[in-house]
Structure formats: C-alpha cells, structure tokens
Amino acid sequence: MLRLLYALFVRLAAAPAALFLALRGRRQGDAPGRWAERFGWVPRPAGPVTVWLHAASLGEVVAARPLIDALIARHGSGGVWITTMTTSGSQAVRRYWGDAVPHSYVPFDLPRALRRFLRRVRPQVCVVLETEIWPHLFTLLARRRIPLMLANARLSPRSFSGYRRVRGAIAGVLSRVALVAAQSDADAERFRALGAPHVERAGNIKFDLAPPEHERAIGQRWRADVGPRPVWVAASTHDGEEAAVLAAHRDLLRWHPKALLVLVPRHPQRFASVARMLERDGWHFVRRGDGDTVSVPAEATLLLGDSTGEMFRYLAMADCAFVGGSLVEVGGHNILEPAALGLPVLFGQHMFHFVDARRLLIETGGAREVASAQDLAVEIAALFAQPELRTEMGTAAAAAVAANRG
C-alpha cells in the first residue's frame, strides 16, 4: 500500500514540480528547455560513463569537490556524470568543471523517466551523496545490477524517527544499496537499525574540502578594499533568521559603530526579498552585484552577499562567522567551511544535521553556541574586542578540521 501511495504521489507531483523548478531556474539564469532533464531527456554522453554521482544542491556539490576530482582523475572527465536537483547546484558544477564533465538535472523518481535516463547515460556505478533515498531509483538500479553507494551518508535523529515509522518499506529500499558509507558511528547505527545490510563508517568528506587559495585571495582583497573595520559573516541564513541576525547587528553597532555585516542568504530565490526587507527597515547596505570587486562605502553597515558559489570569498573577508539554519529549526549548515579558514564559528541551537561537527568544534574550543540574537551580539562583540580570543578559537577550529581530514 505504501509503495502504491508513493507511486501515485510522485506521478501527481511531477508535472507541478517540473513547472515550479523550471520557472525558478529561469529566474536564476537557467537555459530554457532544461525541464526535460527532469523526465530523463538528457543528451547522450560521448563515451562510456563509469560513475554517475548525484549531489542534490549547492552544499553537496561543494562538499563533494574532493571526491569528484578524485573520480575524474581515475576515470577521466567524460567518465563521470553529475546530476543535481537545484539550479544553484547545477551552476556550481559548471563553475567548477565547466563543460568537461557531463551534467544534468536528476530525473524525478518516476520509473519511465529513470529508465530513459539510464538507457542514455548507461553508468556502471551510482553514487548518491548524503541522504537521498529514492525507492523507484534504488529498485531499478538493483534490477539492472548497477551498484549503488550512499556516500557521506548521514541520518539525523529526526529523520531516523520519521523513517522508523515505515521501517518495513525503508528496509526494502535500503536492501538495494551495495554500501552505505556513513559519516559517523551514530549515522551508521541508524542506517543499520533501518535495515541497511552493508554499512561502514567512512568519515565526513566535508573535512577534506580545502579552501581554494584563489578564493581566499579574492576575499582577502575584498577585505582590504573594505578597510580596517571589524567584519562578521552571517552565512546561509533562512527566512525568519535574518531578523535575529539584524537585531544582533543593531546591538553590535552600539559597541562597534564601524562594524560590517556580510549577510549571505542560503537560497538565491530569496536574495530579492531580503534586499526589500533591508530597504524597508532602513539599513544602509550595498549588494555584492557582479564583477571582481566589492565596493562598500564607509557609511554602509551591511553587505548583502547576493551571489552563489562565493562563500569562501565572503568568509575570507571576516573576523568571525555565524552559520545559519541553526537559529531556526532547519538543522544547521556546514560549519566546517569557516573552521577550515581559521575563523571562530558561532551557531544556534538547532544543529541536528551536524551533530558530530558541532560537538567537535565546541569540545576543541573552535566554536560557541548561541541561543538568541542578544547572545549572538554579545559573542561577536567579545570576539571583536579580544583579538587573542579570535586567534585562539580560529586556530582550534582549523586544527580540528585538519585532524579529521582523510
């Protein structure tokens, strides 16, 4: 019954979802006609594809860069096919590897669309990043004897609780997976409890992402252009979270009137609405815009980071970083990126997607947790006022990341 209900839901949802994604993609600069990729209509590769790797969104693509580079080195750029779900993820693939690596949107979990995609691409192996569980896809891969790996797999306690309610159905789906390479022992145990037969703890590949030196250099140049003023980044913020960040920045300006906030919303489709909110609330801000330079007048107190794929540049501008998705119940985002750059890291109490990274950075002294806008303002002010504290926390954060690479 669950399988039938799922199949019916996917069939009914596919057309509206394709229309919604196509319209949103066009607003973000997508080429017309790419909606067809969602139904398996992808160009045939020039040669054989060894590995099909699926990284749903921008965050997964960024995290997978070391893995994808290793696969390309082993199998050649044409031997790796990358799919994404989101436009920002697609743009990141093009930005990092250009046209050298075949890429498309992932088909919806519809048997006919998936068969069409597999007939065209003919991968020998499929690698799915993190926690993308697609019943029809997994079944079809097993029938075609195409091995499937869940790489960098994680399963939060909240997701585990939801899947456990339908354990029988999920166990059948996970039985098709050749290997679950889990981020942590806790993740591995949750997958085993759901019935996955082949699970290993492999660690978190997000530790292996080294900040690109040219990205760091650009960010440092932007910082030099901004001048000698304290700078903090609020990265990957969500709807309802910007209000708390802005309240913290208002408080902070009382102690550090020249402080600059670099606000980077998580989703590109929200850039315009966040800009309107800043205008409505009377902030003197500038937008990142296009080009290689960032111009922030002395009287501006906020830079809106309305671009994708430039997070390391924004972080390289900063003295410290707050990572969003954590003051609201989203589950947090990648706190290892600012840590790798040697920045003190702050985040809220909702970090259930990054439990182990949270614990590691707090225990090593590289991060602190805040419960409110007021707490955030106090912590940022303390870091601005105490360079030695910034250095101590940043060094600890970078060392924690380095110790867990590989």
Q: CA 136, CA 52: separation in Å to the nearest integer?
A: 16
Is the pLDDT at 188 greater than 80? The verdict is yes
CA dihedral for 284, 289, 291, 292, sign (positive or negative): positive
Judge if 58 and 110 occupy the same domain: yes
Judge if 263 and 247 occupy the same domain: yes
Judge if 246 and 180 occupy the same domain: no
Q: Which domain holds residue 76?
A: 2-206
Q: What is the pLDDT of residue 309?
A: 85
Q: What is the mean pLDDT of residues 9-30?
A: 84
Whether residue 311 is contained in a domain is answered as yes
Model confidence at 140, in pLDDT bands (50, 70, 90)? very high
Q: What is the mean pLDDT of residues 272-294?
A: 90
Is the pLDDT at 25 greater than 90? The verdict is no
Query: What's the CA dihedral at 249, 254, 258, 264 to 10 degrees?
Result: 0
Q: What pTM, to 2 d.p., does this model score? A: 0.85
Domain containing residue 23: CATH number? 3.40.50.11720
Judge if 127 and 258 occupy the same domain: no
Lookup: tokens for 174? 């996970």
Judge if 155 and 27 occupy the same domain: yes
Q: What is the pLDDT of residue 23?
A: 83
Give pLDDT tens digits for 69-100: 999 999 999 999 999 999 989 999 999 999 99
Judge if 176 and 325 occupy the same domain: no
Residue carrying the six token digits 């569980």: 133
Whether residue 60 is contained in a domain is answered as yes
For the chain, percent of residues with pLDDT exceeding 90: 78
Q: What is the mean pLDDT of residues 153-160?
A: 89
Higher pLDDT, 3 or 399: 399
C-alpha separations of 299 from 225, 229, 234, 257 in Å: 14, 11, 20, 10
Q: Given 60, 241, 242, 337, which residue is catalytic?
A: 60
Q: What is the pLDDT of residue 18?
A: 82
Q: What is the mean pLDDT of residues 281-296?
A: 87
Judge if 230 and 306 occupy the same domain: yes
Whether residue 302 is contained in a domain is answered as yes
Domain containing residue 352: CATH number? 3.40.50.2000
Q: CA 108, CA 121: separation in Å to the nearest integer?
A: 15
Judge if 154 and 222 occupy the same domain: no
Q: Which of 206, 234, 256 is the last residue of a domain?
A: 206
Is the pLDDT at 2 greater than 80? The verdict is no
Q: Which of 185, 206, 227 is the last residue of a domain?
A: 206
Whether residue 202 is contained in a domain is answered as yes
Whether residue 405 is contained in a domain is answered as no
Give pLDDT tens digits for 87-136: 989 999 999 999 999 999 999 999 999 999 999 999 999 999 988 889 99
Q: What is the pLDDT of residue 131?
A: 83
Q: What is the pLDDT of residue 406?
A: 81
Judge if 97 and 217 occupy the same domain: no
What does the DSSP 8-state code read for residue 149? E
DSSP, collapsed to helix, strand or coil, labels residue 384 as helix
Q: Identify the CA nearest to 175 among candidates 185, 183, 167, 187.
A: 167
Please say if 369 is a catalytic residue: no
Is the pLDDT at 54 greater than 90? The verdict is yes
Judge if 96 and 172 occupy the same domain: yes
Q: What is the pLDDT of residue 31?
A: 84
Angle between helices 2-27 and 135-143 (to 10 degrees): 110
Q: Which of 206, 233, 264 is the last residue of a domain?
A: 206
In the chain, the number of structural domains is 2
Q: CA 104, CA 84: separation in Å to the nearest integer?
A: 7
Residues 140-147: contacts with CB within 8 Å, 24+ apart? 140/111, 140/114, 140/115, 141/176, 142/176, 144/118, 146/118, 147/178, 147/179
Q: What is the CA radius of gyration of the chain?
A: 22
Q: CA 207, CA 210: separation in Å to the nearest integer?
A: 8
Q: What is the pLDDT of residue 22?
A: 83
CB 56 within 8 A of CB 132: yes
Q: What is the pLDDT of residue 156?
A: 86
What residues pair up with 197 in beta bridges, in sequence order?
none
Q: What is the mean pLDDT of residues 161-178?
A: 92
Angle between helices 373-385 and 387-403 (to 10 degrees): 100
Whether residue 381 is contained in a domain is answered as yes
Whether residue 404 is contained in a domain is answered as no
Judge if 176 and 230 occupy the same domain: no
Q: What is the pLDDT of residue 17?
A: 86
Q: What is the pLDDT of residue 304?
A: 97
Kindly report the average pLDDT of the chain as a whole number.
93
Judge if 252 and 296 occupy the same domain: yes
Whether residue 325 is contained in a domain is answered as yes
Give pLDDT tens digits for 190-249: 999 999 999 999 999 989 988 889 999 999 999 999 999 999 999 999 999 999 999 999
Q: How many CB atoms lie within 10 A of CB 403?
A: 11
